[in-house]
Structure 1
Amino acid sequence: MKYNYFPLNVGAEVIYNVDSTVYNNFNNSTTNYIFQLKDITTNKFIDAQGNEAFRIERFKKTDTDDWFFQKVIVRKIISNRAEEVLDNKRYVRLVFPPTLQSTWNGNLYNDLGAWPHEVKDLDVPLTIAANNLDSTIAIQQYNEVNLIREDIYDETYAKNIGLVVKKVKAVDKNINTGVITRGYKYKMELASWK
């Protein structure tokens, strides 16, 4: 079933490097933020639906601040799908067993509108910085590009680690020049895990 692409183990810890850029058309500014996120799986419990679920505590670290608590995330696997509750919204992150061109609605259990997720790569090696990962799965979560807007969301999962890359680009563009006027983009990438 390839559940090991979405491992849930108490005590697991994953650290990500994050590079984020925010475009503001109010004052024509572009601001870059560099920080780290750390996800620690702290415990498992039975959720309101009667399923085994795992509590993940997310911490953030910047150049000027040490690790500080940011939020709680809940993850679980229910037969053929991996779910994540983030900011009070439930998402379907993966389906099992994943196959090339598997498709599903990642927003099936929330009110954000249908997002047709699709498996683009499966069991593919990937190198991230000094980390050589032998098997990864790439998910295109959403991809809509036109003359005035770009919304591109992609995630990559690795066996026995889980999420290793998340890329988001959500920007408005000047229709005449194609220059970004507002919005944001960020890349969250594996730094270390244990």
Structure 2
Amino acid sequence: MTVQKPFFKYICILALAVAMLLSCNKHENAPALDMGLQYYPLKENSVSIYDVDSTVYNDFNNSTTKYQFLIKDTVTNKYIDATGNTAYRIERYKKSGTADWSFQKVISRKVTSNRAEEFLDNRRYIRLVFPPVLNLKWNGNLYNDLERWDYTITLLNEKQSVNTLNFDHTLTVEQINEVNFIREDVYIEKYAKEVGLISKEVRAIDKDISSGKIKRGFIYKMQLNSYK
């Protein structure tokens, strides 16, 4: 049987339309890629308060000094930075004992399409990359004058508790973990979805090679106390 040309043309057009419709429906129904931006939320007027325990070792006078205080980070406003991106200004305050909050410094943070940056103490760091992937590595010091540190995501979408706070979705970033007989450099940060940074731990110490005793350096632990 011979198919008439007009009818054949109509069949081709109909088939093409159905194919396009199915393609559109498939695209519309496909789940959106989770970029993980919720791990580094930035919102004006948000406040995070941290408990800080710090121990400083001094081999000059063989002293060990412990400090306990609170840190408060407040997002005061957003602005367009020199690169044309939206950045957020964070004011950091410190409180010891019954003293009033005292201003410490200004921090700038921003999120681009694939990374979270923090400008702290005149240096820019890449704190996270998006989407976060387990065991993913990147140079956190790419935009500053420090040596290369290969940040690594060592835990992802894990439940964790900090102080009395419980979080269903967290990730852990190991910024550096170099330990030997005479030196330890361990920097670890943890983030929770919709909250941001929930803890930071640092061990930057020199040790006696024979006894393993700490000679100099500091150990620092910062844990989220409250947020809003």
Q: TM-score, normalised by structure 1?
A: 0.99
Structure 1 vs Structure 2 CA RMSD: 0.6
Question: How far did 1:48 drift?
Answer: 1.1
One-letter code of the match for 2:114? N
| Unpaired runs of at least 5, structure 2 | 1-34
The equivalent residue for 1:169 is: 203
The equivalent residue for 1:96 is: 130
**Paired residues of 2:158 and 2:170 also in contact (CA < 8 A):** yes
Q: TM-score, normalised by structure 2?
A: 0.84
Q: Among residues 65, 69, 74, which one is paired with 1:35 in the alignment?
A: 69
SS in 2 for 1:110: coil
Structure possessing the higher radius of gyration over alpha carbons: 2
Question: How far did 1:128 drift?
Answer: 1.4
The equivalent residue for 1:47 is: 81
The equivalent residue for 1:81 is: 115
Larger strand percent: 1
One-letter code of the match for 1:98? P
Q: Choose between structure 1 and 2 for higher RCO, CA contacts under 8 A separated by at least 6 residues.
A: 1
Matches of 2:214 and 2:82 in 1, distance apart? Answer: 43
Pairs within 5 Å for 1:34-183: 34-183=68-217
What are the Cα deviations for residues 149-170 of structure 1, in whole angstroms up to 9, with x where unaligned? 1000000001111000000000
**Paired residues of 2:163 and 2:223 also in contact (CA < 8 A):** no
**Paired residues of 2:78 and 2:86 also in contact (CA < 8 A):** yes
Q: How many residues align?
A: 194
One-letter code of the match for 1:173? K
Matches of 2:163 and 2:204 in 1, distance apart? Answer: 25
Matches of 1:64 and 1:131 in 2, distance apart? Answer: 24
What are the Cα deviations for residues 91-146 of structure 1, in whole angstroms up to 9, with x where unaligned? 00000000101110000000111000000000111111221111100000001111
Larger helix percent: 2
| Unpaired runs of at least 5, structure 1 | none
Question: How far did 1:78 drift?
Answer: 1.1
**Percent of aligned pairs with the same residue?**
58
